[in-house]
A and B are shown apart, each in its own frame.
Chain A
Amino acid sequence: MIELQAARKAYGDKVAVEGLSLAVPDGEIFGFLGPNGAGKTTTIKMIAGLLRPDAGRVLVNGIDVRAEPIRAKREMAYVPDGPDVYEKLTGAQFVNFVADAYRVERAARQARVAELAAAFDLGPVLGDQIESYSHGMRQKIVLMAALVHRPRVWILDEPLVGLDPRAAFTLKTMMRAHADGGATVFFSTHVLEVAEKLCDRVGIIAQGRLVACGALDELRSCPSESLESVFLELTAG
């Protein structure tokens, strides 16, 4: 459950997000779409507690991210748009570091690491320094670390960029299973086909304002209209 109430964020004079209100209930995959520079990353960073909203509130599972950041962060997994990680740690060390922060028990951790390493095909390189990873492998290790504590709420900023087709498929399957298990997935993407196939609802943001939000069928003016033409129409100008 994610709730944004009239959230606003400006960088100096430049208003990046304005009056953004939006609720993502449990059991839903929510796709966040918008042109470059529309404010997707800014919104996601506000949810993850990396940016303070200038006005408005952000609630995750009913917890105000600003007022109780630590409790709110326990509930979620955040994957940023670029996989900047500690290059000098090995993959396993990095995942363990994150798991320590979430206080994941040994047995649970062991099982989860094995499961995720198999899913993302990272097992053989976990002992290597992240410095030697490719871009996609870094993306995978960030995903692994984010999911190691079995968070309820997933917040992913363009998570599919750089993943190979198999890993992308795995992640999409995991997102579906997670939402079907009654949890929340919030992710941004530029790939409309993915959004179309995967999301229960989508939100489209343009120039910092939410211009559309709802199930795909609600956004289409006629059943045959593609999400692409909806997107182009709504974000024109």
Chain B
Amino acid sequence: MLSLVRVLLVNALSLNDLRSRRRRGRTLLVWGAVLLGVSPIVIAWAALVGVAYAGLGASATPLYDLALAGAYALAQFAVLFTAVPMAWGQLLRARDLGILLSLPLRPGQIVVAKLATLWVFEFCIGAALLGPVLFHHLVWTGGGPARAAMALALLATMPVLPLCGATLAVLLLGNVPRLGRSGWFWQLISLAALLSVWLVMARTLPEGESARDLADLAALKVAQARQLGRAAPGVGLVVRALTADGLAALGGLLSALAAAAAGVGAVLLLADRLYLRPVLEGAGAAARGHGRAEAVRPRPFLLSCARREIAGVLREPAVALNGLGGYLAVPLALAVSLFMSPRGGEADGGGAEIAQVVALLRAPEAAGVAPLAFAGAGLAAAALGALSSLFSTSFSKDGRRLWIERSLPVAPYAVFLGKWLGAMAIVAVAHGATMVVAAWFVRPPLGPWLYACVVGLLAIGACGAVGLSIDALRPKLVWKETVEAVKQNANVPLGLLASAALLGTNALLLWACAAAGLPAAARWLAPVALNLAMLGYALVLGRAAAARFGEMDI
């Protein structure tokens, strides 16, 4: 059991690299860099906590319990957020179940070992966040050794509940793919659903105790603490354990520990059903879609090739998430910022300000600025798609299957165009959705909005064709898992550079337009013309690259 945890940890941290002399230097360098990057933040945080406690101690009614509750809830949220991707990696991506299940281990042991491995990471995060707070709390409230021991126990168990929550969420989501073939789509939907439920909860909670009824600041804070208590389970118990005396404190501690144990129990109970049994029953791949065979329907090869590209991306979650990461990150960041904003309405207020700017742009005096502003906005949004790795890894992704395209009686350029079309279709949908969401916030006039969409898509098309050309010239064909073709591919940074250059050219053009004082019509046309020309040129380049690709020995 312990040895299993050790092996999992060694594997997760690549500790064996330390043993091989060749890799040791590099590994130590990476660790050093990580430590160097993180330690100032940790030190600053500890210092901040110290200052805050000094401030608290000086005030008339020190709200130690409130500070503790806040810090505890914060740490739990941090654990929850970091634990989701980690649990996904440890439980679903690590393909070690086949080996583990064949060992004489009870299923519970496997799950507990994985949880323990995750706990080690999360404890580090928790200790960095909560540790200083607990320390100062003890110092300022004058706790003895008994209370210090309790604090340590609570620090150690803090990550357990959010960790269990994250694990359960991951296991539940991991089981969703069996609903359909494009499992990742369902995962995203459920993630979005969870997120919106959470947002709605977060926004409606304060209204329960209407801020106007709260007489003073302290009362408001207490209300917020209560709200925190509802959002982060166990906060109340912990506060009781560390602020109350005698039996009450002990009760708080024991209840907190019991809650953690209950969380682990819940995971153990469900893990067998959700995690191990599906593997034992052979449902792991989720690929056995019992769909009817596709109807026989001839298509032009170009479309057929684009369709294949789309299916290849959408059915490979890692590839899709990698390629569309930009489009997912922005709404996510937006949602998080909505939640984090202290006043619920602030984000809308920001939207209103943008709307005012847009209204100004509509005014006749702004005729000269409007085209540049809209083109700029469209191009800024396009950066999300232009920087996508879908294009610059398309040939690489074929890997050992490249023989198919090469042995078919089609021109290499047809393959190139098919891939370009397919990737464009995916990016265009994501881009369109982003533009619609943006329009909902900003409410621009329809015409200029469409204009921004067109300019953006043209730029994405040009950048994509350049990225695809790069990949046609030097595909990375040797890999074991498709993710490698996307993640460890030098063509991605090369494509990024090329796209950045193209977008930079656009920025230069906008600046030149503004500086040269062109008439409005010319300002509307110039960005379109530039991006059309770049797209045309990129496609011509692509033709040459595809020809080289057609000559390549494979």
Contact = CB atoms under 8 A, between A and B. Distances in A.
A and B associate: yes
B294 A70 contact: no
Interface string B411-422: 100000000000
A73 B291 contact: no
A225 interface: no
A86 B406 contact: no
A85 interface: yes
A50 B407 CA distance: 7
Contact of B287 (A92, A123, A128): A128
A88 B404 contact: no
The prevalent SS among residues of B at the interface is loop
B551 interface: yes
B404 A86 contact: yes
B289 A82 contact: no
Nearest to A91: B293
A90 B410 contact: no
B298 A103 contact: yes
A98 interface: yes
Contacts of B316: 88
Interface string A102-115: 11111001100100
Interface residues of A, number: 46
A193 interface: no
A127 interface: yes
B227 interface: no
Interface in A63-91: 69-74, 78, 80, 82, 84-91
B537 interface: no
Interface in B269-318: 285, 287-294, 296-301, 304-305, 307-308, 311-312, 315-316
Contacts of A78: 403, 407
Contact of B285 (A51, A70, A98, A132): A132
Given A69-B550, A74-B409, A92 B294 contact: yes
B122 to A, nearest CB: 33
Contacts of A102: 408-409
Contacts of B550: 69
A100 B301 contact: yes
A234 to B, nearest CB: 29
Contact of B553 (A50, A73, A86, A91): A50
A101 B409 contact: yes
B432 to A, nearest CB: 24
B291 A90 contact: yes
Interface in B161-208: 181
Contact of B404 (A98, A100, A106): A98
Interface string A28-63: 000000000000000001001111100000000000
A187 B472 CA distance: 31
Interface residues of B, number: 39
B34 interface: no
B181 A129 contact: yes
Nearest to A124: B293
A100 B406 CA distance: 14
A227 B401 CA distance: 35
A154 B349 CA distance: 69
B98 to A, nearest CB: 16
Given A48-B407, A100-B300, A86 B308 contact: yes
A63 B30 CA distance: 57
A78 B407 CA distance: 7
B312 A89 contact: yes
B429 to A, nearest CB: 18
Contacts of A71: 409
A70 B409 contact: yes
B409 A131 contact: no
Contact of A80 (B296, B311, B403): B403
A96 interface: yes
A49 B304 contact: no
Q: Which of B294, B301, B399 has the most CB of A within 10 A?
A: B294
B515 interface: no
A99 interface: yes
For the complex of A and B, list the 4 residue pairs with the smallest distance between their C-beta atoms, beginning with the closest: A100-B304, A126-B293, A73-B409, A88-B315
8 contacts: A52-B553, A85-B401, A91-B293, A101-B304, A126-B294, A129-B288, A131-B287, A132-B285
Given A101-B301, A110-B296, A123-B293, 6 more contacts: A49-B407, A71-B409, A84-B400, A86-B308, A90-B291, A97-B304
Interface of A: 45, 48-52, 69-74, 78, 80, 82, 84-93, 96-106, 109-110, 113, 123, 126-129, 131-132
